[in-house]
Amino acid sequence: MFENREDVSTSSVVLDLSSETESVCAECGMLGVAFHPNFPATPRVYVSYTSLTRTDKGPDTHLSEFTSHDGGLTLDPASERILLTVTKISEHHHGGNIIFGKDGYLYMSVGDGNEFRVDRAQQMNTVRGKFIRIDVNGTTGTALYRIPPTNPFADKTALCNVTGTNTETDTCPEIYAVGFRNPWRWSFDRQTGEIWEGDVGESTKEEVNRVVRGGNYGWRCYEGTLRTSLICTEPTNPLPPIAEYDHHDGGGQAVTGGYVYRGTKYPALIGHYIFGDFVSGRLWDIPNTTKPTVELTGTGFLSGLSPSSFAEDLDGEIYLVNIHGSIFHIKATDADPGTGVATQLSATGCVDPLNPTQPASGLIPYKPSAPFWSDGALKERWMALPDDGKISVGTDSDWDFPNGTVLMKNFHLNNRLIETRLFMRHPDGVWAGYTYEWNTDQTDATLVKGGKTADLGNGQQWIYPSESDCMFCHNSASGSSLGLETRQLATKMTYPQTGFEAHQLVTLNTIGVMEKNIDSPETQVAYPDPSDTSAPLADRARSYLHTNCSLCHRPGGPTNASMDLRFDTKLASTNACNAAPSLGNVGLTDPKLIAPGHPEQSVLLTRMKLRGSTHQMPPVGSLKVDDQGVALINDWIASLSTCD
């Protein structure tokens, strides 16, 4: 808690549940907080969180009530009354948002628990995959809550509060609406009372729903408007989403529900539902009068953030919560959006217009010591900085680039250019990726919008990533500019402009592009090249995982897993060694993410060998297994005896 003034610098703790909360897994932690509508006169606050208890392997979700004894300044942890417990076999799909409605009842969204072969979202004897509504007013002691008489199944008497499931196979009276996968964030329209919800999809669609009492929203039979092939109970009259977008059309991969704007500062936004995507960082607004179903594409505003939640203040102004710890005010703008990126690579200014196969004058080449796997392609890389722009180095040795930076990469297969990618930091600080497909004459390349897969004519297919695919890997947790960190460039390379070999860090210091020169650049230790058999096996393997996996598998990364595969993270601290998988066993017996001495039991290795599956690694951008990388990780796992 802190005072509501701009110069505030101190805060105080109201409630600390850190010792009671499971927060290691990616979707775990404190999921929702709702103050009683009459707070602090009624000094009760309700909290949804993942507890340390694991009744069914996954952390239990608790909906608990806490009481204040000092007029609302703090909440007493010892006053906790657990109103509802939801058990799960998985660490994912908790949902967990809680809000009081104008009717005074407490609403809660609950995820389906991520059970692969069980359709919890359509089963009526469980609150998993549901919206629920309960009455907490006037309840004390053993009377945890009452069922509002207008609930769709209020006539059912056996509450589902013990494990989130009615053991008598009867319908749970708490249920308000059904058929949800992971309703992570939702809100009430403060003017109409309508519920607007973002339901996180599985492999193809993200959806926005307007939730009504008794409505069925189709999961697991439907993902958005798409009929799935999953085992499911066919719903009666499933309601279509108001809006949806595809994972492969540039939209993103994990919707975060927002709010209908009811503020006054931006009249053009009044009545528009504002929401975003956690992976791509895109934000959209659609009128609250929108009819089902609007197909969204790679439009909207690229925020460059990872929006994990939204909020509104007393005046109806809307805020975005970035998962890495910042809060932003959503503002409308009348600024000219510009003409966009050039359709032809030759017109971008990044290449020689007379010979687009060559970079424009002034681009700086670079070469990471541990390159990323790109389906066997050979790559060339350059950076272009704005005039007087400087590169800064973070405490984690990741590099941060000034607004106006462009990173360019050429991909070659069979002695010909097939793709050029541009990764730009726009003047507003937002990163965005663009890809160009080369013509057969090798005279120019054309912008690919929304991504595509093409046959290269030699038995190999190639993925041109969508805008959201770019941002999945180039996420803010990894520093956005992949491969550009001190230890990746602590090597020599031959500069094509001169034909001379020089140390990259020394060169960058010398030409004056570093905000602060890197100390003793020639003594910096580079990440070993995974293909360099003269380097220790463990170092090569960890270098490979750092480059190819840790861009997502690190704290704050855009995955459901809690692994930290960065090079300097001790194996025992990666949350992978001897750790049970949370997203399926991929057909293995007694699987572990990394099973020391047993590659055949290691999920990480098995997923590296998959393609064309939702379990493949990497999850996007690759159609060809890295056989050399698989052999390296296999040998490393086989060499391990412990996690130390």
Would you list the domain boundaries of the chain?
11-183, 345-523, 537-639
CA pair distance 70, 15, nearest whole angstrom: 13
At residue 216, the pLDDT reads 97
Q: Read off the pLDDT of each residue in 582-604 and give the average, rounded to a whole number.
A: 91
At residue 251, the pLDDT reads 81
At residue 138, the pLDDT reads 75
At residue 338, the pLDDT reads 55
Per-residue burial over 27-50, b = 16 or more CB atoms within 10 Å of its CB, e = otherwise: bbbebbbbebeeeeeebbbbbbbb
Tokens 């390349």 — which residue?
445
CA pair distance 214, 452, nearest whole angstrom: 40
The total of other beta-carbon atoms located within 10 Å of residue 161's CB is 21
Instruction: Identify the CA nearest to 59 among candidates 22, 100, 99, 14.
Output: 22
CA pair distance 491, 535, nearest whole angstrom: 15
487 CB-near residues (< 8 Å, 6+ apart): 369, 397, 524, 525, 526, 527, 567
Least confident of 245-254, 281-290, 393-402, 528-537: 245-254
- Whether the link from the prior residue into 220 is cis, omega within 30° of 0, is yes
308 CB-near residues (< 8 Å, 6+ apart): 256, 278, 321, 322, 323
Do strands 461-464 and 492-494 pair parallel, antiparallel, or not at all (unpaired)? unpaired
Per-residue burial over 447-462, b = 16 or more CB atoms within 10 Å of its CB, e = otherwise: bbbbbeeeeeeeebeb
Residue 179's pLDDT band (boundaries 50, 70, 90)?
A: very high
User: Is 60 exceeded by the pLDDT of residue 335?
Assistant: no
Q: How far apart are the first and last CA of the chain?
A: 41
Residue 430's pLDDT band (boundaries 50, 70, 90)?
A: confident
User: Is 60 exceeded by the pLDDT of residue 485?
Assistant: yes
Residue 560's pLDDT band (boundaries 50, 70, 90)?
A: low
At residue 298, the pLDDT reads 63
At residue 9, the pLDDT reads 86
CA pair distance 171, 127, nearest whole angstrom: 9
Residue 140's pLDDT band (boundaries 50, 70, 90)?
A: low
Burial class (CB in 10 A: 0-12, 13-18, 19+), 200: buried
Q: Supply the mean pLDDT for the chain.
A: 92
Contact, 261 vs 319, CB < 8 A?
no
Q: Read off the pLDDT of each residue in 145-172 and give the average, rounded to a whole number.
A: 86
Contact, 104 vs 137, CB < 8 A?
yes
User: Is 70 exceeded by the pLDDT of residue 336?
Assistant: no
CA pair distance 123, 179, nearest whole angstrom: 9
Calculate the alpha carbon distances from 255 to 198, 271, 306, 308, 575 in Å.
Answer: 6, 20, 11, 9, 26
Contact, 425 vs 408, CB < 8 A?
no
The total of other beta-carbon atoms located within 10 Å of residue 388's CB is 8
Contact, 144 vs 135, CB < 8 A?
no
Q: Read off the pLDDT of each residue in 252-269 and give the average, rounded to a whole number.
A: 92
At residue 409, the pLDDT reads 97
Q: Is 613 helix (H, G, I), strand (E, B) or coil?
A: coil
CA pair distance 446, 135, nearest whole angstrom: 59
User: Is 90 exceeded by the pLDDT of residue 364?
Assistant: yes
Residue 227 pairs in a beta bridge with 222
At residue 141, the pLDDT reads 64
Contact, 442 vs 416, CB < 8 A?
yes
At residue 620, the pLDDT reads 84
> What tokens were used for 7?
């110069």
More confidently predicted of 304 and 398: 398
Cα-Cα-Cα-Cα dihedral sign, residues 245, 250, 253, 258: negative
At residue 396, the pLDDT reads 84
- The DSSP output letter for 30 is E
Q: Read off the pLDDT of each residue in 329-337 and give the average, rounded to a whole number.
A: 71
User: Is 80 exceeded by the pLDDT of residue 319?
Assistant: yes
User: Is 90 exceeded by the pLDDT of residue 65?
Assistant: yes
Residue 334's pLDDT band (boundaries 50, 70, 90)?
A: low
Residue 168's pLDDT band (boundaries 50, 70, 90)?
A: low
CA pair distance 433, 423, nearest whole angstrom: 4
- Whether the link from the prior residue into 293 is cis, omega within 30° of 0, is yes
Q: Read off the pLDDT of each residue in 387-406 and give the average, rounded to a whole number.
A: 93
pLDDT in tens, 406-422: 999 999 999 999 999 99
At residue 91, the pLDDT reads 87
Residue 555's pLDDT band (boundaries 50, 70, 90)?
A: confident
Q: Read off the pLDDT of each residue in 171-188 and give the average, rounded to a whole number.
A: 97
Percent of the chain with pLDDT over 70: 98
At residue 331, the pLDDT reads 87
Residue 23's pLDDT band (boundaries 50, 70, 90)?
A: confident
**Rounded to an integer, what is the distance from CA 496 to the centroid of its chain?**
38
Residue 443's pLDDT band (boundaries 50, 70, 90)?
A: very high
CA pair distance 387, 405, nearest whole angstrom: 10
User: Is 70 exceeded by the pLDDT of residue 337?
Assistant: no
Contact, 442 vs 450, CB < 8 A?
no
Residue 525's pLDDT band (boundaries 50, 70, 90)?
A: very high
Residue 497's pLDDT band (boundaries 50, 70, 90)?
A: confident
- The DSSP output letter for 504 is H
- The DSSP output letter for 508 is H
Contact, 358 vs 417, CB < 8 A?
no
At residue 450, the pLDDT reads 77
If one looks up domain 11-183 in CATH, what number appears? 2.120.10.30
257, containing H or E segment: strand 255-260
